[in-house]
């Protein structure tokens, strides 16, 4: 499901089935090269999560991306985010990020790090197969957790 009014209506009726939240973490770079890098990584992550949502529409809710800045206090953001998502009725929460610091330092427990691949020079076909490959690597992580309980 997407974070839209129509999907939300369905979610509110079927929340026992749609038990998983997916949260893209997007870093906003603020000087020249950092901006380009951040744009490229955001493009990749948004494409990837859209594809994931398409495959698993009936099981997961794709939240709007949570955005942070270079100077953000990651530990504080993480605890705020985790606390408010814990208030939502999701059984499983996955944070998807292209920024290794989130997963490496264990700031967010369920962060899945995916290396960013620049999509801007790819044609549609290649782009799609690259994204499919990436999603195929994430699926086992999801299903392991789903079958775990």
Partner 1 sequence: MSKSRVSRRQFLNYTLMGVGGFMASGMLMPMIRFAVDPVLEAGAAGDYIPTSQKVSELTEEPVRVDFTYDQVDGWYESEVTGTAWVYKEGNQIVALSPVCKHLGCTVNWASDKEHPHQFYCPCHGGRYEKNGKNVPGTPPTGPLDEFDVKEQDGLLYLGAAKPNTLV
10 Å CB burial of residue 145 (0-12, 13-18, 19+) is middle
In the complex, what is the shortest distance from the CB of residue 18 to partner 1, in angstroms, rounded to a whole number? 7
Q: Kindly state the smallest distance separating residue 132's Cβ from partner 1, in Å.
A: 10
Regarding 13 and contact with ligand FES (CB under 6 A), the answer is: no
Rounded least distance, CB 22 to partner 1, Å: 13
* CB closer to ligand FES, 59 vs 127: 59
Token pair recorded at residue 15: 């929340």
Contact status, residue 67 vs residue 81, Cβ threshold 8 Å: no
CA atoms within 13 A on the CB side of 46: 12
**Minimum distance of ligand FES from residue 51's CB (angstroms):** 17
Q: Does 14 bind ligand FES (CB under 6 A)?
A: no
- Residues lying near partner 1 in the complex (CB under 8 A): 6, 10, 14, 17-18, 54-59, 124, 128, 139, 143
Closest CA to 111 of 141, 83, 135: 141
Binder to ligand FES among 13, 54, 58, 64 (CB under 6 A)?
58
Identity of the residue, 71 or 124, whose beta carbon is nearer to partner 1 in the bound complex: 124
Using CA atoms, how far residue 121 sits from 44, 54, 104, in Å, is 12, 23, 29
| Closest CB to ligand FES among residues 19, 82 | 19
143 scored as a contact of ligand FES (CB under 6 A): no
Q: Which residues bind ligand FES (CB under 6 A)?
A: 17, 58
């Amino acid at each position: 499901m997407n974070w839209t009014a129509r999907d939300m209506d369905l979610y509110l009726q079927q929340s026992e089935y749609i038990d998983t939240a997916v949260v893209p973490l997007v870093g906003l770079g603020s000087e020249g090269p950092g901006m380009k890098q951040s744009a490229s990584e955001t493009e990749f992550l948004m494409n990837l999560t859209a594809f994931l949502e398409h495959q698993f529409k009936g099981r997961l809710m794709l939240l709007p991306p949570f955005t942070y800045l270079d100077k953000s206090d990651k530990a504080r953001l993480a605890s705020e985010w985790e606390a408010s998502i814990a208030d939502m009725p999701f059984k499983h929460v996955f944070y998807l990020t292209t920024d290794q610091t989130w997963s490496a330092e264990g700031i967010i427990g369920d962060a899945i790090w995916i290396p960013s691949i620049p999509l801007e020079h790819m044609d549609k076909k290649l782009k799609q197969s690259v994204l499919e490959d990436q999603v195929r690597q994430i699926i086992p992580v999801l299903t392991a957790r789903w079958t775990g309980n």
